[in-house]
Amino acid sequence: MKKNVVFMACVVNKDKSKKYGDFDYFDYSIKTWEYWCKINDCIFFLFDEPYMEDMEKYRINWQKEVFVFDILEKNNIDYDQILILDSTCMIKWDTPNFFELTDHQFTVSRDMDNMRWIHNSVEGYKEFFDEYEFDIKKYFNSGFVIFNEKHRDFFDSFKQMYLDNVDELLELHKKTGTAEQTPLNYWAQIKGMDLNFINTMLYRCSHLYRKELLSHNWQLNEDTTPFFIKYPYVWMFSGFDKSQREPLMKKTWDFPQVDVVFVDASHDYPQVAIDIQKCIDMFDNPIIILDDYGNPNNRNIRASIDDKIKEGKIKVDSLIGEDVGFLTKSGWKMIDREGVVCKV
């Protein structure tokens, strides 16, 4: 069965380690997307080996864009929609399924974070594209692009253009500081591609330092949660000193360890199972307390907990709370103890 695919390029190029601040940050990006894909029944595909061995000539930025269909088919991936993702992106755990926002259109995020850089890049490639009158208002970032099989011809033509001009494009990359992003934009406009723009602030929030999203509302001082955690869903750790990237991404990923987790959130079957699994994955053998085990009005909670017990993921330590037959103010009676304490 076809599934949506998150295609993340995380190829280590040791020759570029100094320039890009090493590649340890890959690990944090990968973990967040693996988790999100599992929750949303998507395939996470890690592009971690080059398709073309000569990474100096065939830069990874280009390889991920022009060989994506070849790579997925080589690995027998039956895809529906595909998200090409930059390695600097992390995703928040409760991000909605953005594949449902595309209407199967070519979906991108507008990029206006550094207009001077974008303008210079567009001008730098203008002669190559025969002085095409580019509409800079439609410029998008190539680090978050969603497409599908009906866009195959577009990508095939883009690949052929690249292979026919790889040496010249490499020189333009060195001259402008831009690899595939601006050429992909030019090609989309030249080919008349209809662009579906997704909310950039929510789904590809970059330049976190400059936008002061790493801070919190110090005037109220009621909640120290950084703005970028509270509001955007997908964070692109770019636009600042690359030596700060890995420490910041590590800090974003690392959860404080706890001994006890109390679960009383969503009350549907799959979400309870997800919450239990999150406790198992994120913490070191925690005690998990689950509410509403004996609630007859929502048997999904009990069923989800019991299935996790049968799977051997958790085991019952004790039952707590009101007893069987307890009459609530709403007029219904407990069919078992109110809560259950489990160990991993």
pLDDT at 16: 60
Question: Tens digit of pLDDT per residue, the chain (344 long)?
Answer: 899 999 999 998 766 655 555 688 999 999 999 999 999 999 999 999 999 999 999 999 999 999 999 999 999 999 999 999 999 999 998 999 999 999 999 999 999 999 999 999 999 999 999 999 999 999 999 999 999 999 999 999 999 999 999 999 999 999 999 999 999 999 999 999 999 999 999 999 999 988 889 888 878 777 888 899 999 999 999 877 778 888 888 888 876 678 899 998 778 888 899 889 888 887 888 999 999 999 999 898 999 999 999 999 999 999 999 999 999 988 999 999 999 999 99
The one-letter amino acid code at 19 reads K
CATH number at residue 290: 3.30.110
Q: Given this model, what pLDDT does residue 19 score?
A: 55
182-215: b or e for each residue (b if 16 or more CB lie within 10 Å)? bbbbbbbbeeebeeeebebebbbbbebeebebee
Half-sphere exposure of 283 (CA within 13 A, CB side): 19
Residue 168 within a domain: yes
Range of the domain at 334: 260-343
Calpha distance 45→64 (Å, rounded): 12
175, 286: one domain: no
Q: Are residues 292 and 187 in the same domain?
A: no
119 located within any domain = yes
- 84 lies in the same domain as 181: yes
Considering the domain architecture, whether residues 108 and 8 belong to the same structural domain is answered as yes
289 shares a domain with 198: no
Number of domains in the chain: 2
Judge whether 264 lies within some domain.
yes
Tell which of 203, 218, 240 closes a domain.
203
Q: What is the pLDDT of residue 162?
A: 97
186 and 265 in a single domain? The answer is no
In a domain, 242, yes or no: no
Q: What pLDDT, on a 0 to 100 scale, did the predictor assign at position 89? A: 95
Q: Is there a domain that residue 67 lies in?
A: yes
Q: What is the pLDDT of residue 22?
A: 66
* pTM, 2 dp: 0.78
Residue 219 lies in a domain: no
Three-state SS at 81: strand
| 135 and 268 housed in the same domain | no
Q: Are residues 199 and 267 in the same domain?
A: no
Q: Are residues 45 and 112 in the same domain?
A: yes
Domain presence at residue 104: yes
Last residue of a domain, one of 164, 179, 203: 203
Residue 254 lies in a domain: no
> Pairing between strand 106-110 and 3-9?
unpaired
Q: Which residues contact 26 (CB under 8 A, 6 or more apart)?
A: 10, 12, 87
- Nearest CA to 16 out of 212, 221, 184, 173 is that of 173
Q: Which two tokens stand for residue 140?
A: 């998008």
124 Cβ contact partners less than 8 Å away, ≥ 6 residues apart: 172, 175, 176, 178, 182
pLDDT at 255: 67
Question: For 7, phi and psi rounded to 5 degrees?
Answer: -105, 105
23 near 100, Cβ under 8 Å?
no
Tokens of 60: 């990874």
Helix axes 269-282, 299-310, angle to 10 degrees: 40
Indicate which CATH number applies to the domain containing 178. Answer: 3.90.550.10
Helices (H) and strands (E) in the chain, counts: 13, 12
The C-alpha angle 21, 24, 25, rounded to 5 degrees, equals 85
Q: Report the SS3 class of residue 119.
A: helix
Chosen domain end from 186, 203, 220 = 203
Residue-level pLDDT at 15: 64
Whether residue 187 is found in the same domain as residue 107 = yes
CA distance 35 to 93: 7
Q: Which two tokens stand for residue 267?
A: 């009350």
| 3-state SS, residue 214 | coil
Same domain, 47 and 142: yes
Tokens matching residue 72:
């997925």
- Residue 305 confidence (pLDDT): 94
Q: At 327, is the secondary structure helix, strand, or coil?
A: strand
Residues 302 and 187 in one domain: no
